Amino acid sequence: MKRVLILGGGFGGLATTHRLKQKLAPDDEVILVDRRGYFMVGFRKTWALVGESPLEAGQRSLDGLTSLGIRVMREPVTVIDPKARAAYIGDQRIQADALVVALGAELAPELIPGFQQHAFNVYDPQEIPRAARALSEFRGGRLSIGIFGAPYKCPPAPYEMALLINDSLMSRGIKASMEVFTPQPMSLPILGQTGCDLIESRLADKGITFLPNHKATAVEVGEVVFADKRRPFDLLLGVPPHRPPAVVRESGLVDGSGWVSVNPRTLETQFPGVYAIGDVVQISLANGKPLPKAGVFAEAMGETVADRIAAVFSGQEPNATFKGEGGCYLEVGGGKAMMVQGSFLAEPEPEVTLTEATAGYLEEKRSFETQRLMEWFG
């Protein structure tokens, strides 16, 4: 009997778990660990923020997986020992034949003085109800959406948030002066100037000011502090800096990039039998830019890793590889969405484009969630 220990029950961990259950022998053990009891897709936070649909409608309990023969441990991972392919779950040490680290990115608002006091963290599901209330009570003035660090999850999401909030305020007859700031030189650097122009002109058309090269250092009452200026706000919705969870930072898996480094095709770390997938890894593309942190990639990485582990367990040469193909939706309001999609690992340059906005892409976005919930939780 073999054992696989999967740390993290988000996009990557769930995709790995399900694929392994299909591929491994019935008496092989698959253990999934997550301190959070449920799964939910990332973009549901934006829908809940603008009052379109509640968070709970898209949440599924991980406990449901036990009926599929998966051992689910709803506890914190406290130590990872990659040399031994082991981890402490609470105070219990579990060793495995293969270890998959899928613990995602941790939000670190405390790295920006004043963020926690004066901004709403719109990437934290626990803060969404409070942020949604503040937005529904907003009666006009300066509304700022701030990206406080890069890389961050789902790069189009803050722009999508701005467009959807703008629609929602308009429908309530509320006049606001909206802006989005980012430390990056353009809205979505992976798209290059032409694609960014499309996004930025869409923001401009709606009267939303776009502020690139704006690295915020602190938040004070009613003001965001930048190196050389301050900008006032009445309501600040913030995307905090991201980093790997503490247990990963202390594991010896993180390199100079600040993230876990892996072979981009096999997702193997430097430790035999130890894989890392999803937001916790940083993969550099041919143009030096990082692979965007997105559920669709975490999922594809998880399936690749599961196929490789299954091959190794059955004595075969593993040949599954991560292709880096797919994309993220960018809802633009008015019942339409665009897609940032392509072949991200292509050489000599990533081939990434922004599609036109259609009702079809919004429909696809909705079924992206429904399909995963059905497939993973029934």
Ligand X SMILES: Cc1cc2nc3c(=O)[nH]c(=O)nc-3n(C[C@H](O)[C@H](O)[C@H](O)COP(=O)(O)OP(=O)(O)OC[C@H]3O[C@@H](n4cnc5c(N)ncnc54)[C@H](O)[C@@H]3O)c2cc1C
Binding site for ligand X (CB under 6 A): 8-13, 33-36, 42-43, 45-46, 76-77, 102-104, 123, 153-154, 157, 245, 247, 278-280, 293-296, 298, 328-329
**Min separation Cβ 285 and ligand X, Å:** 16
Whose Cβ is closer to ligand X: residue 58's or residue 295's?
A: 295
Q: How far is the CB of 30 from ligand X (least distance, A)?
A: 16
Residue nearer to ligand X on the CB measure, 123 or 259? 123
| Contacts for 23 with CB less than 8 Å, ≥ 6 apart | 306, 307, 310
| Sheet containing strand 235-239, strands side by side | 120-121, 235-239, 141-147, 176-181, 209-211
Looking at the DSSP bridge assignments, the partners of residue 30 are: 4
Neighbours of 270 (CB within 10 A): 13
The structure tokens listed for 347 are 């050489």
Nearer Cβ to ligand X (131/221): 131
Residue placing its CB nearer to ligand X in the complex, 116 or 177: 116
Between 47 and 210, name the residue whose CB sits nearer to ligand X. Answer: 47
Q: How far is the CB of 155 from ligand X (least distance, A)?
A: 9
How far CA 291 is from CA of 194, 275, 322, in Å, comes to 19, 17, 12
C-alpha to C-alpha distance for 165 and 157, rounded to whole angstroms: 12
Shortest distance in whole angstroms from residue 105 CB to ligand X: 7
Cα end-to-end distance, the chain, whole Å: 27
Q: How far is the CB of 5 from ligand X (least distance, A)?
A: 12
Q: How far is the CB of 45 from ligand X (least distance, A)?
A: 5
290/269 Cα distance (integer angstroms): 17
Angstrom distance (rounded) from CA 350 to CA 198 = 19
192: CB partners within 8 A, 6+ apart: none
Which lies closer to ligand X via its Cβ, residue 41 or residue 219? 41
Task: Choose between 55 and 280: whose C-beta lies nearer to ligand X.
Answer: 280
The two structure tokens encoding residue 349: 């340059």
Contacts of 374 (CB under 8 A, 6+ apart): none
Q: How far is the CB of 340 from ligand X (least distance, A)?
A: 9
